[in-house]
Amino acid sequence: MVGYAVQRLLGAIPIWIAITLITFILMNVIPGDPVTQLMDARGGSMDKKVIEQIREEWGLNDPLPLQYLHFIQGFVQGDLGTSYQTRSPVTDLLLERIPVTAQITFLGLIVAIVFGITIGIIGALKRGSWLDSLVSSFSIAGVSLPSFLIGLILMYIFAVKFQLLPASGYASGELKFLILPSITLGLGVCGVIARITRSSMIDILKMDFMTTAYAKGISSWRVVLLHALKNALPPIMTIIGVQMGFLLSGAVITETIFALPGIGRLLVDGILQRDLPTVQGCVVFITSVFLIINLITDIFCRWIDPRIRLDT
Amino acid sequence: MKGKIYRIFLVVMTIMMILSACSNSSSSNSTSGGSDSSESNTKPTYGGKLVRAAIYGDPQNLDPAIRAHGTSTSMITWNIFEPLIRFDAVKGVFNPANAESWKISDDGLVYTFKLRKGVLFHNGREVTAEDFKYSLERVLNPKTASPNAGSLTIIKGAQEFIDGKSKEVSGIKVIDPYNLEITLTKPDNTFLTIMSLPYAAAVPKEVVEEKGEKFGQEPVGAGPFKFKSWIRDSEIVLEGNKEYYGGRPYLDEVVYKIMTDQSTRDNAFASKQLDMMVLGDAQYPKYKNDPTFKNQIIEVPELFTRNLKFNLKKKGPWQDVRVRQAINYAIDRDSIIKAVLQGKAYPAVGILPPTIKGYNKNVTTYKYNPEKAKELLKEAGYEDGFTLKILTTDHPAFGLPAVEALSGYLEKVGIKVKIEQVDFASLLDRVNAGDFDAAMYSNGGQTHPVEYLTRYFHSKYFGASGNTGYYKNEKVDALLDEAAQTTDEDKMISLVQQAEDLIMKDAPWWFFNYNKAVIVHQPWVKGLQPVPTDIDYQDLTKVWIDEKMK
């Protein structure tokens, strides 16, 4: 297992290099000079000489391969460079933002798993009933409604109408700011988990060992949770792993709507302001998270179902 | 049967959601006719917190030398740092600040500032003339990579210092701790404006050196508010400076909530999380037509002129002045402002907005006249029209919606429009590089009419420096140069108006509108003013919270 994990992580190096190289090329291909972005978006002007001096200062006049090489050199030494816009080390910026994104992603995942699996089980047990149709409708709505719309509806109901929760903002350690964003994020993924749970549970419930379990006189909820759900878990876990990527991308929109200082917003701001070091830092981080989550998902599935061979 | 029940349930749920969304959110907000603070009869009281929206995003860095002077940064840094003088944009006068007085030599070259005694940085040290010399040289130092360096090259010896030919700027002289003398390369009556901006304020050398790159994240100045905390992309908190030389501000705390999303701001304002916010075009009618909020709105023609600029460096029909005039006659700007911008703008009579010195309502202007437009096009040899490529962004006020609207008018006189939409960074880049035929843009922010016109129409500022349309008229250059150097204000205004009239006749832009800046505030916020430079640049030392109204 350890050997497998190390092998997978080593295999990720070319992916990291490819992703950073693609990002670097894209950021240099799209129009937009990072120096002129220092101007305010409401108009303004900068002296040509000053622009040239700043470009020189930031090494933007070096040939592109050399610029990329400098980035890789820094990256190997654990230095992701300095943001053009904030003039702070990118590593510091990431460390500031990671907790926020981690919190809403984790809470969003909890919301998605708890709700998704629960209603998926209900759908499977009451298959063909109006309750099952309701679960299916909810799943479709969750998948198809854009997260900004879900966010704004929740904000309107809980913050404006009933004033139970803050409409937006963030304060470290205060859960109330994270409730609405987490639900917004979770509901989008919840539908997918519910649908997979439902179909996976239906397959398992038809199996002979389920009849045996019932015949033994085990209580219904134990049969469902311990026998059926455990066997239905591998496809659900795989989809949860895949959905983590969507949670991370959904965090970009959710963070914007709820004015949360997370990685998503840092990345968007970085792209809009052509702040290459910041964009590269975010991309490296998100890629790493994605690869590690996939690895964990594979290992977990292997642990829960020994029939799955990881090394093939 | 079950299917029927399910369908009925779904219909009921849908109707409930629609009704909930359509109900009037402001009904829970009814307050007894909030009034503009200027009409308030009550005495200002100390204490309280003002929560305001920062709609242009996270300022990234609060070091005034590092960021260009612009709304997202200056609305905060002007409270943390204290320049030598401050400009009261509402009254149009310069007021003493860190300098209690100043003298200008007869030849307009030497400015002597007499500093106030006892002005303290937030770390407790007194501000001296040496601090101003250090701060101005820091902006000019290429190592700082300051976008504001260009503005200070008017100081004698600045260019030599930038080029590394001298160790200090010869034109900045410390006479004694309380007297600072600045010599210019040539007379320039926009210099006082420059000295009133945040990047010309003093920063404490010892703190800058101690904090290094972190200074911009934890700034220390001598202004009326101290920096307290910053949650990136979320909020910045300032606290009232009890040692401020002008007396402690009424407010204990000012919180800037960074909210770029309009719906988020609406919800936060409705749930009273926000005390004040600047309104966007789409939001404007909602608040303007609301019986409660309409009394809690402040409007002002802001110093920004929205325009469609023609690239006169590029060959094309727009090189002919008659074509540019025709375009100005062909478009009904008033209707576009009414229909597309929901009335949240003032039609541009000329270039200078009504809130700047030198505004001339009798300047040569263009009223909607499609027949005259056709006539001019025929004269110019474009009776069958031509295709005009317009570069734009999705900006709601000077972007795609307006371009689509004006396209209709141009098509009526035979000009086909090809729209190219890009993001703002690309627009900035391409306009600065001269890679466009015509571009929809917003220019302004300068408080001095000479600077306003010079920046965008003087040939010395070709390209990224400001004159991105490469407009050149030697008469205009000469008039503006003379206006910059005269010490007689009436003469300066007359020269500016002559220059503006010539530019209007040349029509290097389609003159669209001046931004109508609007603030909506809760009834308990007092002391807000219609600041024309940028309505976000409120003098927060005058703002207070009436707790009784909460």
Q: pLDDT tens across B205-249, in order?
A: 999 999 998 999 999 999 999 999 998 888 999 999 999 999 999
Contact A30 B143 (CB under 8 A): no
**pLDDT in the model for residue A45:** 58
- Give yes or no for A266 touching B (CB within 8 A): yes
Answer whether A259's CB lies under 8 Å from A167's CB: no
Q: What is the 3-state secondary structure (H, E, C) of B280-333?
A: CCCCHHHHHCCCCHHHHEEEEEEEEEEEEEECCCCCCHHHCHHHHHHHHHHCCH
From A28, which residue of chain B is nearest by alpha-carbon distance?
Answer: B426
Whole-number pLDDT of residue B24? 35
Q: Which residues between 193 and 232 in chain B have a beta carbon less than 8 angstroms from any beta carbon of chain A?
A: 213-214, 216-217, 231-232
User: Per-residue pLDDT tens for B6-32?
Assistant: 454 444 444 444 433 333 333 333 333
**Cα distance between the two ends of chain A:** 13
Reported as a single tens digit per residue, the pLDDT across B420-436 is: 999 888 898 899 889 99
- Nearest-neighbour CA in chain A from B328: distance (Å): 22
Please, how many CA atoms are within 13 Å of residue A30, restricted to the half-sphere of its CB?
A: 20
Closest partner residue to B150 (CB to CB) among A35, A46, A274 is A46
The single residue listed with the structure tokens 């049967």 is: B1
Which residues of chain A, if any, have pLDDT below 50?
Answer: 43, 312
- The continuous run of DSSP H or E covering A299 comes out as helix A276-304
The answer to whether B264 contacts A168, with C-beta atoms less than 8 Å apart, is: yes
pLDDT score at B328: 97
Mean pLDDT of B85-93: 92
In chain B, which among 427-446 make CB contacts under 8 A with chain A?
Answer: 428-430, 432, 441-445
- The residues with which B179 forms a beta bridge, in sequence order, are B114, B176
The pLDDT, as a whole number, for residue A40 is 60
> Which pLDDT score is estimated for B2?
43
* Mean per-residue pLDDT, B294-298: 94
Of A45, A58, A155, the CB nearest to B464: A45
Q: Do B143 and A57 touch (CB under 8 A)?
A: yes
Of A134, A265, A272, the CB nearest to B233: A265
Cβ–Cβ contact A26 with B under 8 A: no
CA distances for B325 relative to A41, A205, B475, angstroms: 29, 78, 19
For residues B32 and A33, give the distance between their C-alpha atoms in angstroms, rounded to a whole number.
50
Distance from C-alpha of A54 to C-alpha of A60, rounded to nearest angstrom: 9
pLDDT value, residue A221: 78
Size of interface A-B (CB pairs under 8 A): 213
Q: Which residues contact A48 (CB under 8 A, 6 or more apart)?
A: B463, B464, B465
Neighboring chain A residues of B213 at a CB cutoff of 8 Å:
82, 87-89
Which residues in B lie closer than 8 A to residue A51 (C-beta atoms)? 464
pLDDT at B26: 33
- Max mean pLDDT among A237-246, B195-204, B395-404 falls in B195-204
Question: Tens digits of per-residue pLDDT, B158-183?
Answer: 999 988 899 999 999 999 999 999 99
What is the per-residue pLDDT for B422? Answer: 93
Helix (H) or strand (E) holding A148: helix A147-155
Which residue in the set A30, A49, A156 is minimally distant from B426, CB to CB?
A: A30
pLDDT class of B39 with cuts at 50, 70, 90: very low
Closest-CA distance of chain A to residue B217, Å: 8
Q: What letter represents residue A183's amino acid? A: I
Nearest-CA residue of chain A relative to B425?
A32
Residue B345's pLDDT is 94
Contact B25 A161 (CB under 8 A): yes
Q: Report CB contact under 8 Å: A172, B231.
A: yes
* Burial annotation A158-179 (CB, 10 A radius, 16+ → b, else e): bbbbeeebbbbbbeeeeeebbb
Residues 173-192 of A with CB under 8 A from B: none
Give the H/E segment covering residue B191.
helix B191-195
CB B444 within 8 Å of CB B509: no
**B10: closest chain A residue by CA:** A134
Residues 231-250 of B with CB under 8 A from A: 231-235
Q: Using 50, 70 and 90 to split pLDDT, how confident is the model at B492?
A: very high
Q: What is the rounded CA–CA span in Å between residue B234 and residue A255? A: 10
Distances in Å between the Cα of B185 and the Cα atoms of A45, A146, B153, B190 are 21, 59, 9, 13
Cβ atoms A103, A186 nearer than 8 A? no
Task: Kindly determine whether residue B6 and residue A134, on different chains, have CB atoms separated by under 8 Å.
Answer: yes
**pLDDT tens for each residue of B375-395:** 999 999 999 999 999 999 998
Taking the C-alpha atoms of B340, B342, B346 and B350 in order, what is their torsion angle to the nearest 10 degrees?
0
- Total residues found in chain B within this entry: 550
Q: What percent of chain B has pLDDT over 70?
A: 93
DSSP-derived 3-state class of residue A261: coil
Does A217 reach chain B within 8 Å, measured CB to CB?
no
Task: Give the pLDDT of residue B281.
Answer: 82
Choose from A82, A87, A97 for mutation: most chain B CBs within 10 A. A87
- CB < 8 Å to B6, chain A: 130, 133-134
Each residue of B239-285: pLDDT tens digit?
A: 999 999 999 999 999 999 999 888 889 999 999 999 999 998 888 99
